[in-house]
Amino acid sequence: MITIAIRGLARSTTEDSLTKLFATFGTVHSVKLVKDLFSGQCRGFGEVKMEGHEARDAIKALNFKEIEGSTLRLDIDDGRKKKSARRRR
């Protein structure tokens, strides 16, 4: 199972619309959207869990594609936190 990290989602994106978009590439096991606490709208980030080969196909097809007026950026989330490029003193 692979977790796909998604950035650049439109504010109008819902779990259902994201599931339908990724379901064209295979079985979607789970969808999570980061939502604004007060408005309930998508904050532009989310993740989708799919099987390996299906997830890779979805990333190839949807990375840097414009959906609902926003350009999606997809990557495999390996669970590690990325180090900041900022220098510490």
pLDDT digits (tens, 9 = 90+) for 49-68: 999 899 999 999 999 999 88
pLDDT at position 46, please? 92
Contacts of range 13-17, beta carbons closer than 8 Å, 24 or more positions apart: 13/42, 13/46, 13/68, 14/42, 17/68
pLDDT tens string 4-49: 999 999 999 999 999 999 999 999 999 999 998 998 899 999 999 9
Distance CA 80, CA 77 (A): 8
| The predicted structure's pLDDT at residue 48 | 94
Give me the phi and psi of 82, to 5 degrees please: -85, 140
The pLDDT value given to residue 11:
92
pLDDT tier at 89 (50, 70, 90 boundaries)?
A: low
Which residues is 47 bridged to in the sheet?
5, 32
CATH assignment of 2-77? 3.30.70.330
